[in-house]
Each structure stands twice: as structure tokens, then as C-alpha cells.
Homo-oligomer: A and B are copies of this chain.
Amino acid sequence: MTDYVIAIDGGGTSCRAAVADRAGRVVGRGMRGAANIFSRSDAISESIVAASLAALEQAAIDVSRISGIPAFLGLAGLNVGMRQEQLAAELPFSDTRFAHDGIIALQGALGDGDGVIAILGTGSAYVARAAGEVRSAGGWGFAVGDQASGAVIGRMLLQQTLLARDGIRPMTPLASAVMTRFGDEQQAVVEFTQSAKPADYGSFAPMIFTFDAKGDPMAAGIIAEAVGDITETLDAMVFEGCERLCLLGGLAEKYGERLAPRHRAILRAPLGDPLSGAVQLALRAFLPAAAVAPDGMERR
């Protein structure tokens, strides 16, 4: 039996790895660039391997042992297609199991308990566990989903800025600040969109909250629409008797304080992060004898 397991949290903007030992302790961590399964698959496996090697190094484990260690991968975009087999074949681990990043986030935030999580980062997705049954919503990507995500509100900002610059909507300080970033050239905005990835659009999200705090009406409108989208989805996901709602991702705090009272009332801090959820699931999958505490970090 293996002495170690590797756990991976591969999101849209970074890939994090942890190595845990037979006692369930995390003994090393590593991080690398994006591991979104939408991206080129060789770039994904590169990120996963690099983060894993960094974690092994931190744990002072000989990196050549990687081929004898099994890995549990929580990956963004996994609901798309059957690329797992190809990816598993490219990876050096002794055994490779996959889960949607929502599943490791749920496990990290709620342990084995019931509740709802909303992941609000570069993308967006929702997962609920009720009486042990898991169901998800969203997570369909930037083009036709990811409502309220950093990427989608960043795109809304560029759309509304162009409308303001065309004289169709009122110019606001936020729209002016965006145009200044593009040298006041609408064409520069459009050229940006020719190659922009979700994370590039998401880089405009912080401005929206900064200008909202100063009363900018365009910022307020974008945030109101985003909060409306979140509220609509939470109303469909929060089940009778649900006592825990956790918001995760880079925009969790900003949106948390703006939720409807019925949702704020059940808002709780997550028990752990998605990587800790991946560690719990890795230990359960590959070292079932190891009893794991809810945060995945310690043996009971």
C-alpha cells in the first residue's frame, strides 16, 4: 500500500497540490499556473505535475517516487467531455481519480455535512448536499454560464463602458476609468476581447466593487444584476431545513455582505478550503484505513 497520497485543486487561475501521509497529515504543498480542463490538455498535466513535484519537494520526498503515489484531482471544467482518460494517461501517478472542483470544494467547506456552497471566483458554480445527496448547478463556463463570476461581471463592465462611450448610456467615473486603461480607444477594448480569456475579463472585477463603494451607478447596476443572478440560483439550491451556506472564491466576501437576508441568515464560514476537501477524498479513496478529521488535515 502507498505511503502517501497527492491531492490536487486545479482551478481556472491556479493549480494547488498537497501530499498527505498515511496518518492523514499534509506534509507538503505546491502551487502552479492554471489547470482548467478547458485549456490545452498538455498544459493541464504540466501544471498538475509541477504543483505535485513542488509539494513532494516541500515534503522532502524523492520526486522520482511520484509514479508510486496515487492522486485525487479536483478540476475546474471537468463536467466537459471525457478528457479524463487522456489526462490520466499523461499523468505519472500510480492511480488517478477525478472529481469536479465543486465536489472537493463542497467536501472542504462542509466536510460530510449537508448544506450549499456557491463558488464565486473567475467562474461560478453551485453544489448542494441534502441528506447525503449531491446536486450541482452552474459551472457551465464563461460563454453560456458563470453568472456573477468575476469574468462575467468584467465582461458586463466592458459592454456597458462601450455603450457609455457610444453615448447610449450615461458615462460614469467607472466607465471613464476603464476607457483610460484602454487609452480612450474603443478599438483597443475590442482588440483586447480578441484574445482575452476569462481571467483577463475577471481582472476588471475588483474595479467594479471599488467604484460601487464610491456610489458609481454603472458599478451598482452590474452588482445588482449579479446579486440577482446569485439569489435566483440560491433560491433553487437552498433546500428545506438547510442550515449552512458557504460562499467560496475570490468574490465570496464582496457578495456575502450583499445577499438577501434569507441567505445571509444561513451564511457560515467554510470548514476548510477545496484543497483540504481533495485531501479528505484522496485519503478516503486510496488509504481508507486512515480516519480523517473533517478538515482533512489531521488524523483523529
**Inter-chain pairs besides A137-B168, A138-B166, 19 sampled, C-beta below 8 Å:** A38-B194, A79-B187, A80-B187, A80-B194, A81-B187, A140-B162, A140-B186, A141-B190, A141-B193, A143-B158, A144-B159, A144-B162, A144-B189, A144-B190, A145-B162, A147-B159, A166-B233, A168-B232, A168-B233
A167 to B79, CA, bound (A): 17
Task: Report yes or no: B193 in contact with A144, Cβ–Cβ below 8 A.
Answer: yes
Instruction: Give per-residue flags for A72-90: 1 if the beta carbon is below 8 A from chain B beta carbons, else 0.
Output: 0000000111000000000
Task: Mark A residues whose CB is within 8 Å of B.
Answer: 38, 79-81, 137-138, 140-141, 143-145, 147, 155, 158-159, 162-163, 166-169, 186-187, 189-191, 193-194, 196, 232-233, 236
Note all chain B residues with C-beta closer than 8 A to A167: 137, 236
A143 to B194, CA, bound (A): 8
Note all chain B residues with C-beta closer than 8 A to A169: 232
Note all chain B residues with C-beta closer than 8 A to A187: 79-81
Note all chain B residues with C-beta closer than 8 A to A163: 147
